[in-house]
Amino acid sequence: MINENNLPHLPFRESVNPHIERIVQRESYTELQLKNMIRDMGLKVTQQRLAILRALNEGRVHVTVQEVFEVVSQTHSDVGFATVYRFLKKLKIKQHVTEVRMGGGAARYELASKTHHDHLTCVGCGLIIEFEDAEIETKQNVVAEKFGFNLTHHVHELYGVCNRCQKNP
């Protein structure tokens, strides 16, 4: 099966990620930092893994496997999804990427930033705003403590209608 871009066998649909507004800034990693990230995971530094990390580092945030695959394909004509899936899973386990499942489609991934943040998503146009709120984070710990939990991570997604979509429904 060949799609309109003439890429080999893409079983996924073109994914939609209209526009992203980044509120919380994350500084990009250097090439060396990316290599060390792989090494520190006890893995071999391959061209494919570097290319995947570069895609996550430079490209837009909240990408699907499909999108990573497309970017990486530009420089490596014959990567497979399998590699992207496999590496992304390892990165997820090591908490280097965060998996976000908004709505029903494929999972979206983003390279972890030092400052944690959450998401505010417009159900109308898909705009994603990142926010952080120290008070909420604190309250979470209180809740966890109350039930004897040792918190590892969390997902906090707010959904609503953005300003622009309120005016142009």
Partner DNA sequence: TTTGTTGCAAAACATTTGCACCCTG
Partner DNA sequence: CAGGGTGCAAATGTTTTGCAACAAA
Q: Which residues bind a second copy (CB under 8 A)?
A: 23, 99, 101, 104, 107, 120, 122-123, 129, 131, 133, 135-136, 139-140, 143-144, 146-163, 166
- Scan residues 96-115 and list those touching DNA (CB under 7 A): 104-107
CA distance 57 to 151: 27
Q: What angle do CA 129, 132, 133 make, to 5 degrees?
A: 135
Say how far apart CA 9 and CA 105 lie, in whole Å.
19
Per-residue tokens: 136 = 């909420």
From residue 80 to residue 99, what is the string marking binding to DNA with x (rule CB under 7 A)? xxxx-xxx-x----------
Is 6 an interacting residue with respect to DNA (CB under 7 A)?
Answer: no
- From residue 50, how far is each of 10, 35, 85, 106, 169 by CA, in Å? 22, 7, 14, 23, 42
Residue closer to a second copy by CB (options 45, 143) is: 143
Residues found near DNA in the complex (CB under 7 A): 8-9, 11-13, 15, 39, 43-49, 64-66, 76, 78-83, 85-87, 89, 104-107
